[in-house]
Structures are given as structure tokens and as C-alpha cells.
Structure 1
Amino acid sequence: MAKLMTFMYANETRNDFINGQNIQTINTPLLSLKPAFVPGQLSFSVIFGINEFDFAKEHAFQYKLMDPDGNIVVDTGIIQIPPNPNKENIPKIDGFVGDFDLRNVVFMKEGKYKYEVIFDNTKLKDDYIIVKGAGINGNSSKA
């Protein structure tokens, strides 16, 4: 059964070409999401690593983020992951790390936002992240 080995929020991710290799760079890992104000918008990245699954088969990935009232804020829908075409190297592969950017996500209220990571219709992670307005000079958005 697949396992989620890595999960992280960050300000952004980039794919840099360094010394002839494509390297994933994670910029500013986040413990909470802090739009300037709430209600407000924020762009951020989600990074995940999954292993212990059959790379020779097609798989399905999905990410959901819900507000404190359970309303869906983000739903990637089902993303199909194709089989690895490099079949002769499959036994050597430990897993994969993926990332995606979420741009201008609207947050209507502060609080605990539940998220789910789903792989092949199995929930691999079910947790929350705090959303709190940064306000002016980093102060809370509440008066």
C-alpha cells in the first residue's frame, strides 16, 4: 500500500537546472498560512512524497482543503499519474516527490483548515493547517 512519506507547505517551489540536473528547490517551508488579511488571498505550494506503490501502473492523486466549516476551498480533482515508461529501472525507484502551486486561494475566515491527501481512493493524510491573517506589520488581521 502507498505511503505518504513527505508533506509540506511552502511559499513556492522551483525546478532549477544545476550541474546538468533538474533540482527541486523549496522556498520557505510554512507551518501556517498567513494571507495579509482575512478575508484575503494567498499563493503557496504543496509538496508531497509517496512511496511503496507499483510504478508500472497508473495511479490517481487528489488534494482537498476545507475551511473550518467544512466548505471546500481547494479540490484538485483526480490527477492521473501515468505508469513509469522506464520499466527497466522501476525496481530501483524508491518513490517520487511532487509539488503543485495554488495561486490566489481565497480564505474567508481564520482557523483550522482541514486537508486530505488521497492516492488511489485511499486517504493517506487527514490533518489541518492554521490560517491566520498577518495584518499590517505581521499583526493579526483582527482589530
Structure 2
Amino acid sequence: MDEVRIDKWMWATRIFKTRTIATDACKKNRVMIGNVNVKPSRMIKAGEVIQIRKPPVTYSFKVLALTERRMGAKLVPEYLANVTPPEQYEILEMNRIAGFVDRQKGLGRPTKKDRRELEQFAGDEALEDDFFFDFDFDSDTE
């Protein structure tokens, strides 16, 4: 096998879960070879480096061998080499922890701890009271 379609290869090597998702990634200009966007029908050869943008990271894989058949995860290293620069993984790690660091007190959804503190502050009797409002809709104020 000298050449294979890029969408089939990405699906077979488990970069994408389905071939449809791999095809859509190509159509959305998220797959590049040599900084040029490729179509799903682009034929690839062994030795090429494929860049796949899965925001916020751009992964890079070197094609070691070609296949059209999906394989088990243990066999994937025989067909591709991950050559993604470490800076991309740092970006991924920063985005992962950024949600926890930047959250200011009082913003967003309350945590369980916040709820417990509110219940303790309000006391049990405040939460058990039934609030009943009687609105007089029958009055003639026209």
C-alpha cells in the first residue's frame, strides 16, 4: 500500500472516533500537511507530518505506516509517532487548570460548601417556614 486517504488513516489510527468526524475536521480546515489545509480525499504517504487542530492545541503526528483498517490501541504506535511540541501540551494544561484558578468568590454556581454555610447561617427554622402570599385579585380597581 503506497497511499491511503487521510480521513481513513486518521480514523484507523484512532485520532478520531468515527470517519465522519475525521472528514468533518478536514472540511473545517483543521487538518494540515505542510501548513496547507487538506481535503478528506487527500492521499498521504509514509513519512509525512500531519497537523490536527483540536482547539486549543495543534497536535502533530508523523505517518510511520499506512492502513485503512481500524486497529486496537496497542497497535497504533506502529503506524504513527506523536511529534507534538511540548509547548502545545503546556497550553492544554494551562487551559485545564485556568477554570479553577480564575474563579472569583461569589461568581458562578455556588459550591456545596457555599450551600452548607448558607443553611447554617439561615438556621433550620428559616428554611422550614412556608411563605404564603395572599394576593387579592378580586378587588375592583378598574
- Flag the structure with higher helix content: 2
TM-score (norm 2): 0.24
Point out which structure has higher relative CO (alpha carbons under 8 A, 6+ apart). Answer: 1
Q: Bigger radius of gyration, 1 or 2?
A: 2
Higher strand share: 1
